[in-house]
Amino acid sequence: MTSPDTDVVDIRGGVLLPARREDVELRTDDGLTLVGELSLPADRDPVGTIVALHPLPTAGGFMDSHVIRKAAARLPALADIAVLRFNFRGVSSPRGRSEGEFGEGVAEAADLAAAVAFVRGRGLPTPWLVGWSFGTEVALKHGLGVDVAGVVLLSPPLHRTTDAELEAWRGSGTPVVAVVPEFDDYLRPDEARRRFAVVPEAEVVAVDGGKHLWVGEKQTSRVLTEIVRHVAPGALPLPSTWPPRAS
């Protein structure tokens, strides 16, 4: 809300902070056009980049899934982070429909490669993959095939990722951070620690009170803080108002 005698806005819900926003198209190696949006800091160069990979399309996941939408709405202003979000093949949103059909996390390898190639082609710095649910499966299955600084996995179910695919990250030199809700529907912290033990350098972050969908401002803020902790740690702590109040 906005105070009646100031221009300070509380950062919550669907607030949209200043940024340079551009509709983009990604072209895959198998000939598909994917639709997306690139959000950049309004008046400066980004210090880091997020390639956001959305939840399961067959369960309603798309580039506007709320954590990804809020990352694009807030982090260019709050943390000088560039955010690329897009619809996987066959997925529709108000931005439009990406060509192709759902690929069960396999064909989406080409979507991920197209997104990282776009980021590299634009000269954007230190891209991190940030996957949520199904997006974590795409990151884990195919992220070693692209040039990224690290991966942040929000609510990883580890349904489609095999133990061999997970173990391949061991010794890769690419940071793996799994942010696991206490009350996740699919993979809770103790089981996550067991599964990720094949990658000893992986960090499992248990979020007390968290749930798979990260509903509510407290959970959203927790997730965005964890992303920024890796991509642009100098921006922490994230302010709760815009413009930020003087410390």
State the residue range of the domain holding 201.
9-242
Query: What's the CATH code of the domain at 140?
Result: 3.40.50.1820
The pLDDT score that the predictor gives to residue 7 is 84
* In the chain, beta strands by DSSP E: 9-10, 20-27, 33-40, 48-53, 81-86, 92-93, 96-97, 127-132, 150-154, 176-181, 203-207, 241-242
The pLDDT score that the predictor gives to residue 6 is 60
Q: How far apart are CA 21 and CA 75, in angstroms?
A: 12
Q: Is residue 4 part of a domain?
A: no
Q: Is residue 206 part of a domain?
A: yes
Residues in the chain where the model's pLDDT stays below 70: 1-6, 246-247
C-alpha pair distances (Å), 206 with each of 8, 114, 190, 199, 219: 33, 31, 9, 17, 12
The pTM of the full predicted model, rounded to 2 decimals, is 0.95
Q: Is residue 138 part of a domain?
A: yes
The pLDDT score that the predictor gives to residue 1 is 41
Q: Is residue 33 part of a domain?
A: yes
Q: Is residue 1 part of a domain?
A: no
Number of domains observed in the structure of the chain? 1
Q: How far apart are CA 97 and CA 42, in angstroms?
A: 27
SS3 of residue 225 by DSSP:
helix
> What digits encode the pLDDT tens for the residues 159-216?
999 999 999 999 999 999 999 999 999 999 999 999 999 999 999 999 999 999 999 9
The pLDDT score that the predictor gives to residue 5 is 40
Q: Is residue 3 part of a domain?
A: no
Answer whether 44's CB lies under 8 Å from 81's CB. Answer: no
Q: Is residue 2 part of a domain?
A: no
The pLDDT score that the predictor gives to residue 247 is 57
Q: Is residue 247 part of a domain?
A: no
